[in-house]
């Protein structure tokens, strides 16, 4: 995938709300407190607008059944105008491997019990938020909804194992994970808004704003990826899509193909496959990123790109299974050459089995995510059969509980009626004028009830390289996004018109890595985040070329 180089300077528009995110994290049976808060904008510029969150928390040294920890969270209005306050919380257990999520209950017993207080001061609404019932005057502080967290006295924290007698002795295998060494996480998100606009502001449905980060063709350290999550966390309904796999590399662990943290070299926090020489993120590192995104209120979406752009997986498969089983035309499932060398033959059963084996591993790991992106871009094998395969893979993933997304370019005017309308589409447009080449248009998708994210590749694709990243490009790109691009402009630079924005979920900035050698992480971050900040205000802006 390639698009125009985009380099943009940061320019944020004032907004009327503040999101303050608190993370209360248990390490082993010890709870440690960590807070991160930010105040955005100044309430339409009519008054000083500031709020703060206070945390009173005492952590036990070793958290055991019957232990309790005080948990008080309050918000104080430090502005000169009345503000309204709401909060939402989530909780989860993380196993000692820092990867596996454990249920909140074991043997029907809830392990951590949140004790509430001052419930008459707060109202739980259908959106899952607790709303403070009174407007908060300047200088005033809310009561605390929480009193403490109690480790249930009836909790059974041990695991279970099954033992069998063999010729060499008794062999025991763990069948149910215990909670020994597990982490209990309680995350609280506090939001405030000027009281005179709070109801309208919170009632509005913000468009989804996304950053897609290509971590297959460029390696990013964990802390660098967290910076993108921080940028997204400023806005509600924001998502980070991680493009984990492509022709050049598999950027994440893969047990099925022996790319594991255990088998890798490890230096300065970086795992490297000793066979391919390529860097990748371990499952523990990805779990750390997902937990961080959860704490920041950012949706984390994994993308495992199939059935094209699979050379990274195919190379690992050749190493494990041998060339003949993978690449030969007689016996293999990835026998293409040239531009089709990264494609898997979806009509051969071994090709389907290969893809499903990979999906099985990744859907299990990402089982607590809401979305799963199955890729499906630039697939040039089996043109007439690919939509049927897309539907088959949708059913396979949807049965595992995911909302499924895919890229748009597999869909044409002649096959769009065959595609399952429950698949959400990331619309980018492979060619300059999609209509000239017979690809399905945004109105085509809308008329059939699809939901879409718009990422026009001329304006919103960022393909950094040492050749294209110039001050001139920077100025042109920022001008183009701010003055020209909008959700209605979905067809490259061609004039477009939408009768409605029905079905359009939002917009996405896509940061690709194939040409980025020699460009620093900092340069990419500054450009990519500035691009996102330029796009975001346009998502809810009125249309200048069509309907709303």
By CB atoms closer than 10 A (0-12, 13-18, 19+), residue 34 is exposed
Segment 527-542, tens digit of pLDDT: 999 989 999 988 877 7
Q: Which of 440, 459, 449 is nearest to 507 (CA)?
A: 459
Q: Which of 218, 256, 239, 243 is nearest to 373 (CA)?
A: 243
Q: Which of 449, 391, 386 is nearest to 421 (CA)?
A: 449
What pLDDT is recorded for position 3?
45
What pLDDT is recorded for position 70?
75
Helix residue ranges per DSSP H, 133-235: 195-203, 222-233
Q: Is the pLDDT of residue 166 over 90?
A: no
Which residues have C-beta within 8 Å of that of residue 247, sequence separation ≥ 6?
309, 310, 311, 312, 341, 342
Segment 91-127, tens digit of pLDDT: 878 777 766 777 888 888 888 889 999 999 999 987 7
Q: What is the dihedral of CA 336, 338, 339, 345, to 10 degrees?
A: 0
Written as six digits, the tokens of 292 are 């961080």
- Average pLDDT (13-41) is 34
- Average pLDDT (475-483) is 86
Segment 311-367, tens digit of pLDDT: 999 999 999 999 999 999 999 999 988 888 999 999 999 999 999 999 999 999 999
Written as six digits, the tokens of 252 are 């994440």
**443: enclosing H helix or E strand:** helix 442-447
Only one residue has tokens 């959106």, namely 127
Distance CA 31, CA 187 (A): 12
Distance of CA 525 to the CA centre of its chain: 17
Q: Let me know: does 61 contact 92? Beta carbons within 8 Å.
A: no
Name the DSSP class of 224: H
Written as six digits, the tokens of 51 are 């709020």
State how far the alpha carbon of 135 is from the alpha carbons of 84, 86, 196, 469, in Å: 5, 11, 10, 49
Q: Which of 159, 186, 167 is nearest to 72 (CA)?
A: 186
What phi and psi, each to the nearest 5 degrees, are found at residue 145? -70, -30
What pLDDT is recorded for position 247?
96
Domain annotation for the chain: domains and CATH numbers = 17-203 (no CATH), 208-538 (3.20.20.80)
Q: Is the pLDDT of residue 22 over 50?
A: no
Written as six digits, the tokens of 523 are 């340069």
Q: Are strands 83-94 and 160-166 parallel, antiparallel or unpaired?
A: unpaired
DSSP secondary structure letters along 483-540: HT--TT--STTS----S--TTEEEEEEEE--TT-TT--HHHHHHHHHHHHHHHGGGTT
Cis upstream peptide for 307 (omega within 30°): yes
Give residue 151's pLDDT band: very low, low, confident or very high (50, 70, 90): confident
Written as six digits, the tokens of 458 are 């001329």
Q: Is the pLDDT of residue 26 over 80?
A: no
State how far the alpha carbon of 495 is from the alpha carbons of 84, 108, 169, 449, 544, in Å: 42, 59, 75, 23, 11
- Average pLDDT (402-428) is 95
Q: Which of 236, 1, 229, 216 is nearest to 128 (CA)?
A: 236
Q: Let me know: does 502 contact 446? Beta carbons within 8 Å.
A: yes
Distance CA 415, CA 390 (A): 12
Segment 483-515, tens digit of pLDDT: 899 888 888 887 677 888 889 999 999 999 999
Q: Is the pLDDT of residue 474 over 60?
A: yes
Q: Is the pLDDT of residue 460 over 80?
A: yes
Distance CA 310, CA 244 (A): 11
Distance CA 279, CA 264 (A): 9
- Average pLDDT (420-444) is 84
Q: Let me know: does 528 contact 211? Beta carbons within 8 Å.
A: yes
pTM of the predicted model as reported, rounded to 2 decimal places: 0.78
Q: Is the pLDDT of residue 14 over 70?
A: no
- Average pLDDT (1-19) is 37
What pLDDT is recorded for position 150?
86
* Most confident residue range from 236-240, 390-394, 427-431: 390-394
Provide Rg for the chain, Cα atoms.
Answer: 25
Give residue 7's pLDDT band: very low, low, confident or very high (50, 70, 90): very low
Q: Let me know: does 112 contact 185? Beta carbons within 8 Å.
A: no
By CB atoms closer than 10 A (0-12, 13-18, 19+), residue 480 is middle
DSSP secondary structure letters along 50-119: -EEEEEEE---SS--TT-EEEEEEEEEE-SSS-EEEEEEEEEEEE-TTSS-EE-SEETTEESEEEEE--G
Q: Is the pLDDT of residue 159 over 70?
A: no
> Residue 403 pairs with which residues in a beta bridge?
371
For the chain, the average pLDDT equals 83
Name the DSSP class of 365: H
Give residue 398's pLDDT band: very low, low, confident or very high (50, 70, 90): very high
């Amino acid at each position: 995938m390639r698009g125009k180089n985009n380099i943009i300077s940061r320019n944020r528009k004032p907004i009327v709300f503040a999101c303050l995110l608190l993370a209360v994290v248990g390490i082993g049976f010890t709870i440690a407190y960590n807070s991160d808060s930010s105040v955005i904008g100044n309430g339409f510029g009519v008054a000083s607008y500031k709020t703060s969150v206070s945390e009173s928390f005492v952590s036990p040294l070793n958290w055991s059944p019957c232990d309790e920890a005080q948990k008080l969270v309050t918000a104080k209005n430090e502005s000169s105008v009345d503000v309204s306050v709401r909060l939402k919380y989530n909780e989860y257990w993380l196993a000692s491997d820092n990867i596996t999520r454990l249920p909140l209950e074991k043997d029907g017993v809830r392990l951590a019990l949140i004790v509430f207080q001052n419930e008459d001061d707060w109202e739980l609404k259908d959106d899952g938020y607790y709303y403070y019932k009174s407007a908060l005057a300047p200088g005033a502080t809310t009561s605390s909804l929480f009193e403490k967290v109690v480790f249930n006295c009836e909790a059974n924290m041990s695991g279970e194992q099954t033992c069998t007698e063999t010729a060499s002795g008794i062999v025991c295998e763990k069948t149910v994970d215990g909670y020994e060494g597990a982490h209990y996480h309680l995350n609280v998100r506090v939001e405030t808004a000027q009281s005179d606009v709070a109801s309208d502001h919170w009632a509005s449905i913000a468009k989804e704003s996304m950053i897609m980060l290509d971590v297959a063709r460029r390696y990013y350290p964990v802390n660098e990826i967290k910076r993108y999550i921080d940028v997204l966390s400023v806005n509600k309904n924001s998502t980070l899509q991680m493009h984990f796999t492509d022709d050049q590399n598999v950027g994440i662990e893969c047990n099925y193909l022996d790319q594991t943290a255990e088998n890798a070299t490890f230096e300065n926090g970086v795992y490297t496959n000793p066979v391919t020489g390529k860097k990748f993120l371990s499952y523990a590192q990805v779990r750390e990123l997902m937990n961080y995104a959860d704490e920041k209120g950012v949706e984390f979406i994994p993308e495992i790109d199939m059935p094209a752009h699979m050379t990274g997986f195919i190379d690992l498969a050749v190493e494990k299974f041998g060339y003949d089983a993978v690449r030969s035309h007689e016996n293999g499932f990835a026998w293409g050459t040239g531009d089709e060398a990264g494609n898997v033959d979806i009509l051969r059963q071994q090709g389907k089995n290969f893809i499903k084996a990979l999906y099985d591993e990744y859907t299990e790991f990402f089982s607590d995510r809401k979305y799963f992106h199955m890729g499906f871009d630039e697939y040039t094998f089996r043109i007439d059969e690919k939509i049927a395969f897309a539907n088959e893979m949708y059913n396979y993933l949807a049965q595992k509980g995911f909302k499924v997304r895919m890229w748009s370019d597999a869909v044409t005017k002649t096959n769009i009626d065959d595609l399952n309308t429950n698949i959400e589409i990331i619309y980018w447009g492979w060619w300059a004028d999609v209509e000239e080449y017979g690809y399905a248009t945004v109105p085509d998708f809308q008329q059939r009830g699809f939901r879409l994210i718009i990422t026009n590749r001329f304006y919103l694709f960022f393909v950094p390289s040492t050749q294209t990243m110039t001050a001139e490009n920077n100025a042109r790109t920022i001008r183009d996004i701010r003055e020209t691009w909008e959700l209605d402009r979905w067809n490259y630079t061609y004039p477009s018109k939408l009768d409605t924005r029905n079905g359009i979920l939002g917009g996405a900035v896509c940061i690709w890595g194939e040409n980025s050698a020699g460009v620093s992480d900092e340069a990419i971050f500054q450009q990519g985040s500035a691009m996102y900040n330029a796009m975001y205000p346009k998502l809810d802006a009125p249309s200048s070329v069509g309907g709303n």
